[in-house]
Structure 1
Amino acid sequence: MTNAAHRLLWTVVALLLVAGGTATLALTYGTPDAMVLSPALLDGWRQAAPWSTLAAAVAGLLLALAGQRLLARELRKPGTALRGTLSHPGRRPGRTRLPADVLAHALERDLTGGPGVRRARVVLTGAPPHPDVWISVDLAADICGGAREHVDAAVRRFAVTAGCQPAHLDVTARIEPGRP
Structure 2
Amino acid sequence: MTDAAHRLLWTVVALLLVALGAAALGASLGALPGSDPGAPLLGAGLLDAWRVAAPWSTVAAAVAGAVTALTGQRLLGRELRRPRQALHGMLSHPGRHPGRTRLATDVLVDALERDLTGDPEVRRARVVLTGTPGRPDVWIRVDMAADARADAVREHVDAAVRRFATTAGCTPAHLDVTARIEPRRPGPGLPRRA
TM range (shorter): 0.5 to 0.7
Choose which of 46, 51, 66 in structure 1 pairs with 2:51. Answer: 46
Q: Distance in 2 between matches of 1:169 and 1:42?
A: 56
Task: Give per-residue Cα distances to partners, 1:6-42, cap 9 Å, x unaligned.
Answer: 1111111112102211221332233441211111111
Choose which of 115, 124, 128 in structure 2 pairs with 1:124. Answer: 128
Q: Which runs of 5+ in 2 are unaligned?
A: 31-35, 116-123, 144-159, 181-194
Instruction: Give 3-state SS (helix, strand or coil) of 2:55's partner.
Output: helix
Choose which of 54, 57, 63 in structure 2 pairs with 1:58. Answer: 63
Task: Give per-residue Cα distances to partners, 1:55-83, cap 9 Å, x unaligned.
Answer: 11111011111111222222234xx3771
Equivalent position of 1:104 in the other structure: 109
Contact map agreement 1:84 1:99 (CA 8 A) in 2: no
Contact map agreement 1:87 1:129 (CA 8 A) in 2: no
CA RMSD of aligned residues (A): 4.5
Q: Distance in 2 between matches of 1:170 and 1:14?
A: 30
Identity of aligned residues (%): 58
Q: Distance in 2 between matches of 1:37 and 1:93?
A: 67
Choose which of 72, 91, 94 in structure 2 pairs with 1:67. Answer: 72
Contact map agreement 1:45 1:52 (CA 8 A) in 2: yes
Q: Distance in 2 between matches of 1:95 and 1:65?
A: 43
Equivalent position of 1:177 in the other structure: none
- 2:46 corresponds to which letter in structure 1? L
Equivalent position of 1:162 in the other structure: 168
Q: Which runs of 5+ in 1 are unaligned?
A: 112-119, 137-153, 173-180
